[in-house]
Structure 1
C-alpha cells in the first residue's frame, strides 16, 4: 500500500479538475487522473509528471456502471486505498442564447443527461470508491458544485447570479442536497464530505467566459480535500466562506 496519500479527481484531464490534480500533486499526493477520453487522460498524466507530480491515469466515465467499477479496481491495484475523492466531472447541457435554459421549453432528455453526470455520476463514483476510502485514516470527499445551485441566491432578486439555467442549476441544487445526506450517513465516521463552488472560471465548459483562472477555481476544492480531522462536513464553501443553501 502506498505511503503517499492518494487522490482521485474525476474530469481531471483539463480545466479545474486538472488544476485540482496539479495542486494536490504539489502537496505530495499521488494523483489518479480520472477522464473519459484515454488519450486526453494520458496527455494530462504526462504533463503532470513533467511537473513533478506522481500521477497515473484512470479511464473513467461517471455515467457508466462498468467504467466506474473498473476504475475502482484500477485504483485498488495501483494504490490499495483512496484518501481523497473529488467529484469534479460535470456538464451544463445544451443552452440557448445568452447561455439560458428556459424551463418552459426544456428538452427532458437533455435534463436527464445533465442529471446522469452531475448527480447520478457522483453517487455512482462515490459508492464505488467508498470501500477504498474507508481504508484511509482521514478520507475526504469533495463535490464540485456551483453557487447557481444555491436556492437562497437564486431566489434573491437583489443578487445577480446569471441566466436562467433550468437544467444545470437544479442539478447542482440536487448535488448539494445529496452531499448533506451523505454527511448525515457518515456521522460518527472519519469521512468528511463537502461541496465546493469554484466560482466563475474561464474554461471550455463556458466558452472561456469568467474572471477566474482554473488555478483560482481549484483553491476551495483543494482546501476541502485537505481538511484536518476536526474540519467541517456537510457544508457548502467558496473562497469567501460558506455558501447559503
Structure 2
C-alpha cells in the first residue's frame, strides 16, 4: 500500500524535520500551510507537494483533502502541527485573538482529524498525530489562550484515540516539553543539548508510527535532559 504523509502547519523547525525524515523513509509527503511560498525550498529538496489552506476553516480543510486525494492519493498518516498564541494579562487579552488561538490550535485539529478519519475508515486504518506543548499539561501565567488551545487539542486526541483505536486508527499526542532548537535558538556552549533537537523529535514520531498495534502509545512526553518537569 502506498504510504503518504500529510504534515499540516508545515514550515521550518519540527515540521521540516518530519518532512525530511518521512521522505527519506520512502513516504510521499504532502505539506499544508496558509502561505506555501515559505515551503518552496523544502518542497523542492524532498520532492514534496504543497497545498495552501487555512485549517481553521471547514471549507478549506475539505478542499485540502480533496486536492490531495486527486493529486497524490489519500494520506494514511496525518500530523497536525499548527498553533497560534497570544500572550498577556487576562484583562488585556483581545477576544478576537483568543478566538483565533483556539481556532488554529484546537478547532483546526478537529477539522483535520475528521477529514482524515473519513478516509482512514475506507482505507482500513491510518495514523493521526497531534503536536502538543508544555502548555498541553501546564497553564502558564500570561498564556491562558495557548493553554486553552493545547488543553483542548489534548482532549480531542484522548477522545478520538479511544474511539478510533478499535478501528485500526492510531491516534497519538506528543507533549513537546521544552524549547525546540533552531537556527535562531542554539544551545549555549556551556549547556549542550538543553533544547530539543527537531530531528530527534521526528525520529520519535516515526518510531511511534511503526509500533505494532498490540502495543500502541497514545501519548509521549519529550524534553531535554535538563528540563524540569
TM exceeds 0.5? yes
User: TM-score range, shorter-chain basis?
Assistant: 0.7 to 0.9
1:67-91 residue CA offsets vs partner (Å, 9 max, x unmatched): 2111101111133322101011112
Instruction: State how many pairs are aligned.
Output: 215
| Residue of structure 2 in register with 1:60 after alignment | 53
TM-superposed deviation, 1:163 = 5.2
Q: Distance in 2 between matches of 1:121 and 1:138?
A: 21
Alignment of 1:51-200 (within 5 A): 55-93=48-86, 95=87, 101-151=88-138, 154=139, 164-199=142-177, 200=179
TM-superposed deviation, 1:187 = 4.5
Alignment of 1:186-225 (within 5 A): 186-199=164-177, 200-203=179-182, 208=185, 211-225=195-209
Structure 1: runs of 5 or more not aligned: 50-54, 96-100, 155-161, 241-245
CA gap 1:203/1:133 in 2 versus in 1, 3 angstroms: farther
Q: Distance in 1 between matches of 2:85 and 2:205?
A: 19
Secondary structure of the residue aligned to 1:196 is: strand
Structure 2: runs of 5 or more not aligned: 188-194, 224-229
CA gap 1:223/1:108 in 2 versus in 1, 3 angstroms: farther
Provide TM-score, normalisation by structure 2.
Answer: 0.83
Secondary structure of the residue aligned to 1:186 is: helix
1:123-145 residue CA offsets vs partner (Å, 9 max, x unmatched): 11111222222243441110101
Q: Distance in 1 between matches of 2:143 and 2:186?
A: 16
Bigger shift: residues 8-17 or 37-46: 37-46
